[in-house]
Amino acid sequence: MKKWGKLEPGEKVKLRDIDPEATTDFSGSKAAAEQKREKMHATLDGLQELMWAEHRRRLLIVLQGMDTSGKDGAVRYLMNGFNAAGVRVASFRKPTQPELEHDFLWRIHSQVPGDGEIVVFNRSHYEDVLVVRVHELVPEEVWRQRYQQINDFERMLTGGGTTILKFFLHISKEEQKKRLEERVADPKKHWKFNVGDIEERKLWNEYQKAYEDAIEKTTTDHAPWYIIRANRKWYRNYVIGSVVIETMKKFGMKYPQVELANIVIE
């Protein structure tokens, strides 16, 4: 596993061996990371404006994780650093009936970024090899085919100019318990609590195995997975922000040049 939890194609994944409490690749404290927040947000804002102005590249950020793993928090962190122009968040919940009447990627494809755009997926097409598998909503021979279908779909997107960053927010079962208890105890967080989360928690081991298989089988050079140690929220945000910034800086973007020599403003 490389810096920031980036996986290599073919690398085996055992989530129980990855400490979600650790702050690997960052030697500073929470306070040090918080001090860098404003600078990172300013950098994200500048890169996103440049990307929108250049209007050539596309960036897709995929956030996956167990309930309470911090997907919404990561979205807030990223969006605080972006201008609203050229950025969207797409959240994928239980499919509607019209969506179920199409292939599983149909609703996903309509939300991918266009030129100059950044799109953040809060959950994604990976639900169709996770929830669908754990709850046996389709036969095994169906969901097993989807790993390759996802790889083909993502290869098509990257071939068309989309950069894909996939983040799995890795928390411990103990941390999830703590966060669920906080939602129950705090009236301001009741809206976040779903009784169904308790039932899903009983399937923790099944979900961990489903995630391991999905990450292993869909880690590619063109669409890498990052396993983010997400027990510490500040570290989760710092790592995701750092990866996005590093990726966008490598784009080598430039503001469009416009011929203004003969423009007269009266």
Which of 9-13, 155-159, 182-186 is predicted with the least confidence, judged by mean pLDDT?
A: 182-186
Which pLDDT score, from 0 to 100, does residue 196 have? 85
Extract the tokens encoding 252. Answer: 């080598």
Residue 129 lies in a domain: yes
Which pLDDT score, from 0 to 100, does residue 1 have? 82
Residue 114 lies in a domain: yes
- The total number of structural domains in the chain stands at 1
Which pLDDT score, from 0 to 100, does residue 160 have? 95
Which pLDDT score, from 0 to 100, does residue 180 have? 94
Tens of pLDDT, residue by residue over 153-176, are 999 999 999 999 999 999 999 999
In this model, does residue 255 exceed pLDDT 90?
yes
In this model, does residue 260 exceed pLDDT 80?
no
What is the CATH number for 227? 3.40.50.300
Which pLDDT score, from 0 to 100, does residue 219 have? 98
Task: For the chain, give the mean pLDDT.
Answer: 94
Which pLDDT score, from 0 to 100, does residue 262 have? 74
Extract the tokens encoding 120. Answer: 């953040």
In this model, does residue 201 exceed pLDDT 80?
yes
Tens of pLDDT, residue by residue over 49-105, are 999 999 999 999 999 999 999 999 999 999 988 878 899 999 998 899 999 999 999
236 close to 169: Cβ distance less than 8 angstroms: yes
24 or 211: whose pLDDT is higher?
Answer: 211
The H or E element containing residue 95 is: none
Average pLDDT over residues 123-141: 96
Which pLDDT score, from 0 to 100, does residue 259 have? 76
Sign of CA dihedral 36, 123, 159, 51: negative
Residue 254 lies in a domain: no
Percent of the chain with pLDDT over 90: 84
Query: Of the candidates 171, 170, 121, which has an alpha carbon nearest to the alpha carbon of residue 150?
Result: 121
Which pLDDT score, from 0 to 100, does residue 82 have? 86
Residue 260 lies in a domain: no
Domain boundaries, position 193: 3-249
Query: Of the candidates 182, 124, 127, which has an alpha carbon nearest to the alpha carbon of residue 157?
Result: 124
Residue 222 lies in a domain: yes
Residue 242 lies in a domain: yes
Residue 259 lies in a domain: no
Which pLDDT score, from 0 to 100, does residue 85 have? 82
In this model, does residue 265 exceed pLDDT 80?
no
Strand order in the sheet with 87-91: 87-91, 118-122, 58-65, 162-170, 225-229
Residue 134 lies in a domain: yes
H runs (alpha helix) in 112-217: 131-134, 140-159, 173-185, 195-201, 204-217
In this model, does residue 261 exceed pLDDT 80?
no
Query: Of the candidates 129, 59, 66, 64, which has an alpha carbon nearest to the alpha carbon of residue 87?
Result: 59
